[in-house]
Amino acid sequence: MQNLSAQNVSFTSFKFNGFSDLGEWKPFLFIPYFLMFLLSTLSNSVLIYLIVSQKALHSPMCVLIGLMSVVDLCLPIFFVPNMLLSFLFDWNGITLTGCLIQMFCIHYAGTFQSTLLVWMAVDRFFAICRPLYYHRYMQMPNFLKFVIVPIIRNVVLITTMVSLAGKLRFCMKNEIDHCFCEHMALVQLACGDISVNNIVGLSAVFLIPTADDIFFALSYFIILTSVLKSGKSHLKAINTCVTHIIVMAVAITFALIAFMSYRIRNNFSSSIRVFLSTMYLLFPSCFNPIIYGIRTKEIREQFLKFVKQIHF
């Protein structure tokens, strides 16, 4: 009777126990994570300010980079402050509602990053391969036709995934082996069948970042083929393309490591797995604006002017 009544109970509050095996060393994690959070906040804020304030940076590509910076600025805010407080004061609690909201924000912002990179690939395709049609298709009304479908796809899949997680009963334990509400970290605490949640989660992975990566790879294969055939006339365009390839390669690498480490977590310590998951979200947010600032000539020039104005 006691076991039966325990199974009928569903936890509505949880506790994060990520990095718990570090013991007394856990508070020292505050320093690197705070520095990365500070770097992300400052670098993305500066990049957003430059793109908004400088009319020379109001091109479609720079607007897309600005949107990427907005996502990179917001994404760490969804989980890093709470994680920093847990390092210093052991404030690890979160309600189920708060967990689901955090899950939606993190996963949607993460998928929006990959979708933005696809939009950048579309921009480069028209700029390099179809330059006569660039202004026609990259004008805002026409461009919105390209972006509305991926936005609806992301919202529907992530909302479905989070909604199904919210309908589960959590009777096994209320300790999440993570520092934030990652989908599988919460779902695995449920009692009963979670096969539908696994299928929906894998579908979201396949239909959003995987599909975006395939489209991204095909677009840049066509672009690079076109550049090689055209000779040296478009070699300068490769500079921006290389920037996007670097960003996408870093994002894919961290995503695959985080994904695989969760599925084969018996071969990883808990702290390593949580660290990889946090880096998958935080590392791109820190270094995307730096990479774009260095590799994109127009942004680099405006940044140098901005620095000179501050200095004098």
The token pair that represents 272 in the structure block: 């390593």
Q: What is the pLDDT of residue 234?
A: 58
Measured in degrees and rounded to the nearest 5, phi and psi for residue 291 equal -60, -45
CA angle 280, 286, 292 (to 5 degrees): 110
Tell me if 1 is assigned to some domain: no
What's the domain count of the chain? 1
Tell me if 43 is assigned to some domain: yes
Tell me if 3 is assigned to some domain: no
> What CATH number is given to the structural domain containing 61?
1.20.1070.10
Are 118 and 215 contacting, i.e. CB atoms less than 8 angstroms apart?
Answer: yes
- Give the domain range for residue 133: 27-311
Q: What is the pLDDT of residue 207?
A: 87
The token pair that represents 220 in the structure block: 């840049």
- Cα 174 to chain centroid, rounded: 26
d(CA 240, CA 300): 12
Tell me if 100 is assigned to some domain: yes
Tell me if 301 is assigned to some domain: yes
Measured in degrees and rounded to the nearest 5, phi and psi for residue 135 equal -65, -25
d(CA 251, CA 236): 24
Tell me if 206 is assigned to some domain: yes
Tell me if 128 is assigned to some domain: yes
Tell me if 99 is assigned to some domain: yes
pLDDT digit string (tens) for the chain, length 312 residues: 444 444 566 788 899 988 888 878 888 999 999 999 999 999 999 999 999 988 888 888 888 889 999 999 999 999 999 999 999 888 888 999 999 999 999 999 988 888 888 888 888 888 888 888 888 777 767 777 777 888 899 999 999 999 999 999 988 788 888 889 988 889 988 888 888 988 898 888 888 888 888 888 888 888 888 877 776 555 556 666 676 677 777 767 766 666 666 556 556 677 777 887 888 888 888 888 888 777 777 888 888 887 777 765
CA angle 24, 84, 272 (to 5 degrees): 60
- Quote the crossing angle between the two packed helices 211-230 and 96-128, to the nearest 10°: 20
